[in-house]
Structure 1
Amino acid sequence: MAIYYIDGKFVPAEKAVIPVDDLAILRGIGVFDLLRTYDGRPYFLDAHIDRLETSAQKIGLTLPWSHADIARVVEQTLAKNDIPEANIRIVVTGGSSTDFMTPSGSPRLLVLVSPVPRLPDHWYTKGVKIISWEVERPIPGAKSIDYISASLALKKAAAEGAIEALYIDRNGLALECTTSNIFAFIGDRLVTPGKGILSGVTRKVVLELAQELFAIDLRDISRTELLAADEVFITGTSKGLVPVVKVDDGTIGEAMPGPRTRQLMEAMKKHTEKTN
């Protein structure tokens, strides 16, 4: 049984609860971030806490904990669990509310851990399908706990044999997926949206690695342009770098992971081994 950190206490997962008057429950107010371990150590913990703090700021939550406080709780939670490789979910709730609308108590800090699931090998060797979904994040750049749109999108994706849903805005621009960032090789350049998105930590790592290998453009990508790209891939904490060979009913390139995508996958593998 996993041990969670819940608002100042370490408790077994089955006893992990928060009050029903918390705004996370009543109004969906809260933020979170997700990271994982490699060789038992948190991967880019500081960067994830930085993003958590930014998310909280964007939705008007004042955190009563320092960056170091949160990092210490994460390390302590990991130490209390015997999980070889773990996903770590850091959650900050809106706190209790007497009128069920405005905060009347301090935010709550939760740290939940679970084993990293093994993803299918064919995702990486043969590539995956994603679908497009016309929606926009209400507050770009904030990783809030409100995932209703994402949940609906992923349900639709699963029904169509896809693993992810790509958000398309009102202007037909590709933004990001529900839990991933999107990249495309268009001509001789690696292109990824640079605004109106939640920038992932894995995205930043890929951009750092790619700058030594390819010309990079941070710019808008239309859905039409994406469908005509030579190669497409998505990135995320839990999935790493995954080649995309189909978007909706359109095939990308030769319908198999492209050479430049595979080159970046190898660079990512070496990077995680070196970092840990």
Structure 2
Amino acid sequence: MAEHAMKKYFLKNGQEVSVTDFQAEYQALQPSCYEVIRVIDGKPLFLDAHYRRFVGTVESIGQQVPCSKQELAADISRLAALNDVQNYNVKLIYNDFEHGGTVYLFFTHTAYPTEEMYREGVRTNLLRMERKNPHAKIINQTLREAADTLMEEKDLFEAILVNEEDQITEGSKSNIFFLKSNSTGGEVWTSPADGVLLGVTRQHILAICREAGLTIREETISVSDLPDFQAAFISGTSPKVLPIHWIGDQELDVNDPLLRRIMALYDEAILADLR
């Protein structure tokens, strides 16, 4: 596994280890619970929500949670200080339960969208695969490899997963929202919670949309329904709220007023959390 960023140190069970020893020290075991947390100005963003989801993942496979939220926050701060890094993504992995469990914390390779992508949107396409246990952040190497292959072949930012019922669920590493215009200002559509990873960014988007009085529909979206939507966006730790310009051959409006409003509301939520 060579996904760690080339910084100086990572933490293994709270101990500082040189990244030059990452390959020797890291064990890619299954199952592996994980969480990716964005660090902005040295502070973990939306830590409460990330920690709750991590606890849920660990408990869903019958394991004991290895650290408190306060311990995780302290380790992230220590990792940032050790590496002199203030803005990047941190990855938390917990595995090797048969031997008491091992916790890894490291800066993972991070690619944030460019300003051009936020302005002009990104290209995506459909991939007929799904997560079997979407609520748990368990590493799924088969899905990851299939998505990466499609994205490389077609020069995509993301692959959008489609289940056996021909319904859109989520992105391979993101959640997906669709926007529909109407006389009252528009509706925000996304797949029901029971069939997707409950992304932290997704949760905050739903919350800010409700606070803004927007209409939210958590309903199944068939591939055949795509032409009914005027705009769409990806949500996630790294992309935040990222407009989709293309889904396959279907073009979407990256300047849709509702889309741009949600982007602004989410940026405001980030600033509020970091205060």
Range class of TM-score, shorter chain = 0.7 to 0.9
Check the 8 A contact 1:35/1:88 in 2, yes or no: yes
In structure 2, how many angstroms separate the alpha carbons of the residues matched to 1:151 and 1:43? Answer: 28
Matched, 1:137 2:135: no
Q: How far apart are 1:59 and its partner, in Å?
A: 2.7
In structure 1, how many angstroms separate the alpha carbons of the residues matched to 2:207 and 2:157? Answer: 26
Residue 3 of structure 2 is matched in structure 1 by none
Residue 206 of structure 1 is matched in structure 2 by 205
User: Are residues 161 and 82 of structure 1, via their aligned partners in 2, closer, same or farther at CA, if it must alter by over 3 Å?
Assistant: same
Structure 2 unaligned blocks of 5 or more: 1-6
In structure 2, how many angstroms separate the alpha carbons of the residues matched to 1:94 and 1:261? Answer: 42
Structure 1 unaligned blocks of 5 or more: 96-102
In structure 1, how many angstroms separate the alpha carbons of the residues matched to 2:273 and 2:67? Answer: 27
In structure 2, how many angstroms separate the alpha carbons of the residues matched to 1:135 and 1:244? Answer: 20
User: Are residues 227 and 2 of structure 1, via their aligned partners in 2, closer, same or farther at CA, if it must alter by over 3 Å?
Assistant: farther
RMSD: 2.0
Residue 197 of structure 1 is matched in structure 2 by 196
What TM-score, normalized by structure 2, do the two folds share?
Answer: 0.88
Matched, 1:9 2:3: no
Residue 216 of structure 1 is matched in structure 2 by 216
User: Are residues 228 and 161 of structure 1, via their aligned partners in 2, closer, same or farther at CA, if it must alter by over 3 Å?
Assistant: farther
User: Are residues 8 and 274 of structure 1, via their aligned partners in 2, closer, same or farther at CA, if it must alter by over 3 Å?
Assistant: closer
Kindly provide the amino acid, as one letter, of the partner of residue 205 in structure 2: V
In structure 1, how many angstroms separate the alpha carbons of the residues matched to 2:232 and 2:86? Answer: 32
User: Are residues 40 and 115 of structure 1, via their aligned partners in 2, closer, same or farther at CA, if it must alter by over 3 Å?
Assistant: farther
User: Are residues 66 and 190 of structure 1, via their aligned partners in 2, closer, same or farther at CA, if it must alter by over 3 Å?
Assistant: same
Number of aligned residue pairs: 262
The correspondence of residues 1-40 of structure 1 with structure 2, limited to 5 A, is: 1-17=7-23, 24-25=28-29, 28-40=30-42
Q: Percent identity?
A: 23
Residue 275 of structure 1 is matched in structure 2 by 273
Greater helix fraction, Structure 1 or Structure 2: 2
In structure 2, how many angstroms separate the alpha carbons of the residues matched to 1:263 and 1:203? Answer: 16
For the residue of structure 1 that corresponds to 2:188, the secondary structure is strand
Q: CA offsets per residue over residues 73-113 of structure 1, 9 Å max, x none?
A: 22322232201302110110134xxxxxxx2x111001002
The correspondence of residues 1-276 of structure 1 with structure 2, limited to 5 A, is: 1-17=7-23, 24-25=28-29, 28-95=30-97, 103=98, 105-114=99-108, 116-187=110-181, 188-194=186-192, 195-211=194-210, 212-252=212-252, 254=253, 256-276=254-274
Check the 8 A contact 1:83/1:115 in 2, yes or no: no
In structure 2, how many angstroms separate the alpha carbons of the residues matched to 1:62 and 1:230? Answer: 45
For the residue of structure 1 that corresponds to 2:235, the secondary structure is strand
User: Are residues 154 and 228 of structure 1, via their aligned partners in 2, closer, same or farther at CA, if it must alter by over 3 Å?
Assistant: farther
In structure 2, how many angstroms separate the alpha carbons of the residues matched to 1:257 and 1:92? Answer: 41
What TM-score, normalized by structure 1, do the two folds share?
Answer: 0.87
User: Are residues 39 and 71 of structure 1, via their aligned partners in 2, closer, same or farther at CA, if it must alter by over 3 Å?
Assistant: closer
